[in-house]
Amino acid sequence: MALDILDLRDFYSRPLGELARRILRGKLRSRWSDVRGLRVLGIGFATPFVGVFREDAERVLAFSPSQQGVAGWPLDRLNAAGLVDDEMWPLPDAAVDRIVAVHALETCGSAAEFLNEAWRCLAPGGRLIAIVPNRRGAWAKMDTTPFGHGRPFSRSQLTELLREALFAPEGWDEALFMPPVERGLVFRSAVPLERLGARLWAPFAGVHIVEASKQAVRPLPARSTRRVAPARVLRPAPIGVPAPAPHRDVTSG
C-alpha cells in the first residue's frame, strides 16, 4: 500500500529525509550525467529526486499513484505532476527516454504490471532506474521512514522481475548505509559510512539502485548441441487373421 503524500513530504522535510535525498540524488546524477534533450519521467514519489534533471532534460514529468495523492510540482514553473493509476499511465507508447521509480515498485498493486507499463512508455533503448528497499537492510525493518513500507526486494528478486518484463539490468548501486535514526552522530558520519559501506557491507544497504535498459525482444535460450538418442519407434504387434468360415449349402435339407 502506498504511503500518503503528506507522510512522504513530512519525511523529506526532516533532517534524515533531507540526508537521504542528497545521497540518492547524487547516485542518480552520477548514473545519468547527461540527459540533454531527453524526456524524463518520475513515478511514485519522485519529485525530491527528478528535479536534478530539470535544467538539462527536454522535459521532466512526475506521476504519483492514485492511492498516494499528488501535489503541484514544481512550485516555480508550470505544473508537471499528475495522479495516475499504477498500471495505466496517460502517455502514448514510447513517450519518454528515462524513468525514475522511487517509492513505487514496493508499494504498487502488481510489480509485474507496473514494469510492463514502464516498458510500454519507454522509447526504444530507454532506461529505467528503480530505487527500492533492500530486504536485508535496516531501513526496510523500520516503518519510521517510507522505505519501511511495502515489499522490500533482494537483488535476485529484482533481477527476475525486470527480466520477465523485458528489461536487462545493467548497473547496480547500494545506498543508505547509516541507521535510519535522527541523531547528530549519524548525520556527521553519513558520508564516510556511505563510502565504507559500499566496500564492506553492500548486501546490508538500505536500498538497491538498479539501472535497466528496455529490451525489444525476449531472448531465446540457446539450444543444446548435445546429441540425443532417437526415441524408440513403437510398432503394433502382429495379430493373426481369422480363417474364413466353412461354406454351408443352405439349400440342402
HEC string of 67-120 equals CCCCCCCCCCCCCCEEEEECCECCCCCCCEEEEEEECCCCCCCCHHHHHHHHHH
Average pLDDT over residues 174-203: 84
Q: Would you kindly state where each structural domain of the chain is located, as residue ranges? A: 5-214
Residue 239 pLDDT exceeds 60: no
- CB neighbours of residue 212 within 10 Å: 28
Which residue in 149, 134, 135, 139 sits closest to 181, CA to CA? 139
Average pLDDT over residues 14-43: 95
What pLDDT does residue 49 have? 96
pLDDT tens digits, one per residue of 74-98: 988 899 999 999 889 999 999 999 9
Which residue in 74, 66, 138 sits closest to 104, CA to CA? 66
Q: List the strands of the sheet with 167-175, edge to edge.
A: 81-84, 59-65, 39-44, 96-102, 122-133, 207-214, 167-175
Please give the torsion angle defined by the CA atoms of residues 69, 85, 114 and 133, in that order, rounded to the nearest 10 degrees: 10
Which residue in 157, 160, 149, 172 sits closest to 31, CA to CA? 172
Residue 226 pLDDT exceeds 80: no
More confident residue, 49 or 237: 49
Please state which architecture CATH assigns to domain 5-214: 3-Layer(aba) Sandwich (3.40)
What pLDDT does residue 222 have? 52
What pLDDT does residue 7 have? 94
Residue 223 pLDDT exceeds 80: no
How is residue 213 written as a grid cell? 535498459
Percent of the chain with pLDDT over 70: 85
Counting Cβ atoms within 10 Å, is residue 195 exposed (0-12), middle (13-18) or buried (19+)? exposed
